[in-house]
Amino acid sequence: MLSVAQAQGVPPRTQAEMQPYWVASCNCYRNVPWGEAKWFEAPLAREVSQVFDLWLPVNRPAAPMPIVIWAHASGKDHVIVARDSVHKGIVVPALAAGMAVMSVEFRHPVNNSYLGTIYHTDLADATQYIRSMAPELGLDTHNVFLAGRSRGTLGIWTGLQDDRADPNGDLVRRQSTRVNAIFAIEGQTTYKSTENALYLYENERAAYLKRNPENPLYGSAVGSATADDPAVMMRYPSAFFRRLVTRSELKAHHADYGLTLCQRYAELGIGDRCTATDLVPATALFTGVIPFFQSWLTPAR
């Protein structure tokens, strides 16, 4: 039977309050609320809410654990099925490395635009929540990483924004939203129509911009990048164009988004923090991700 807190979807504040969410079959905490929003997710044809699943290493290290936050692609939810590519590529190697893994349910500024509001901060808000639980769960607030695919690469935008920590806020809002590094498969680095046209289109730019005025709430990783931003690793199954394209050629997962962001990093003098690779086979999409995160760990404090 659900507790009152579970029934109301109240985010836990203690490890004891996490316990009712433990599911032995996945050896994880499942459907833990991190926020109170609920919405109809059209691609899934059902209601979802701001929940997450959490895996902790069986043999928990004495030191606080780094945490990897996974954001799912469109058409999926936050549940990671055992032995699928995300489980094998993120969860298993992270746990083996002494890292925790959080898979988060979230709203997206494009995929959920039909809701009538541009939701663009859910991943940042979830990051603040899990940091607020660090003392209870043994997590390291100085070592937080974002990973995602397609829709989940909202993490690129999230990781490059200014810190949203509010020193006068509650326990959650006082937490930082900054991360050490970001991994993205099929990542978009911008949701601004002006930048789509500037960097990608060969023709019809003026008409496109007239039809699609820039909306500042969508955010842009390219325009937001600064010299202190985290490392980014981007991988694409498709090929780079390395040229402007016609509108008919434009893909939702346009690999040149990655090149554009890395070019911006190079202009800022931090080109070594950005990689974008095309034509990556499915079997190699997650290869080396956890070692990449480990290379950007902040030393123990």
Name the amino acid, one letter, at 61: P
Give the pLDDT confidence score for residue 103 in this predicted structure.
Answer: 98
pLDDT at position 133 is: 98
Query: pLDDT tens, position by position, for the chain (301 residues)?
Result: 444 445 458 999 999 999 999 999 999 999 999 999 999 998 899 999 999 999 999 988 889 999 999 999 999 999 999 989 999 999 999 999 999 999 999 999 888 888 888 889 999 999 999 999 999 999 999 999 999 999 999 999 999 999 999 999 999 999 999 999 999 999 988 887 778 777 787 766 677 667 766 665 567 899 899 999 999 999 999 999 999 888 788 888 899 999 999 999 999 999 999 999 999 999 999 999 999 999 999 987 6
Query: Which pLDDT belongs to residue 4?
Result: 41
Confidence (pLDDT) at 20: 97
Strand arrangement of the beta sheet that strand 22-23 belongs to: 22-23, 28-41, 46-55, 100-104, 65-71, 139-149, 181-185, 231-235, 274-277
pLDDT at site 5: 47
Q: What is the pLDDT of residue 2?
A: 45
Core vs surface per residue 240-254: b (16+ CB within 10 A) or e: ebeeeeeeeeeeebb
The whole-number pLDDT of residue 53 equals: 98
Task: Answer whether 165's CB lies under 8 Å from 133's CB.
Answer: no
The pLDDT assigned to 203 comes to 66
For residue 201, what pLDDT is reported? 77
